[in-house]
A = this chain, B = another copy of it.
Amino acid sequence: MRRSREDTAATRQAIVKDASRLFRARGIDAVSVADVMGEQGLTVGGFYRHFADKEQLVAEAIAAASEQSSDGHAAATKGYAPGKLAARMLERYLSKEHCEHPEAGCPVAALCSDVAHGGPAVRASFTRALRRLLQMADEALPGDGARARERRLHAAAAMVGAVVLARATDDPALADALLRSVRRGIEQASERESASPPRRARATSSAAARRRR
């Protein structure tokens, strides 16, 4: 039974959205094409009218999750003063809430390991999502120069690492300690940085000076 163009587009969008939720919640391999279609009350045969294969769906689901996650961050930080942005970002990203609800959270944290063994389209989509996460860090932890960029990459890696490990461990106390430690670590680095101007920070950092040989 053919559907109108609007219905078709809406169905496709709904499939991607369901997939992005299910993949984040259960992992890519644990969610079948039939599972995804079932969310909309559809059967599996129709899937291939919309997508070439499962890999294409995964790639698009990652993109959709990245966009949703990015929009959520934008909405949650709207109106925040630049100095409060980092704290707000960390509060959200490193929350118990985020750990307990991967299906609505950051696809980078939810799918990083699944993606490592994935196809090229999936990895490319994941890399775009990772870049978007890094943009969030750029905004919250601003600053020019290689030192500032390194600081943001370090922060992003720690944030993802903390959430991934907090989700993987069966010890809630350890999970909580990881989240709190990364949050404070990044906050303190951020405050240290904004307290002293970059030039002075560089001049007094023996480590940075040594590294620059």
Contacts and interface: CB of A to CB of B under 8 A. Distances in A.
Per assembly, the copies of the chain total 2
Given A113-B168, A184-B211, A154 B149 contact: no
A207 interface: yes
A164 B159 CA distance: 12
Interface string A129-143: 011000000000000
Contacts of A187: 207, 211
A150 interface: yes
Contacts of A191: 206-207
B157 A108 contact: no
The prevalent SS among residues of A at the interface is helix
Interface stretch (A7-15, A71-79, A169-177): A169-177
Given A30-B117, A188-B207, A191-B206, A165 B157 contact: yes
Contacts of A205: 188, 192
Chain A interface extent, by class: 35 or more
A208 B123 CA distance: 39
Interface string A152-187: 111011111110110111110010011011101111
A26 interface: yes
B117 A174 contact: no
A150 B108 contact: no
A167 B113 CA distance: 8
Contacts of A65: none
Nearest to A26: B117
B168 A162 contact: no
A26 B152 CA distance: 30
Contact of A151 (B113, B130, B152, B181): B181
* For the complex of A and B, 7 pairs with smallest distance between CB atoms: A113-B113, A161-B161, A154-B185, A153-B181, A158-B158, A157-B161, A150-B181
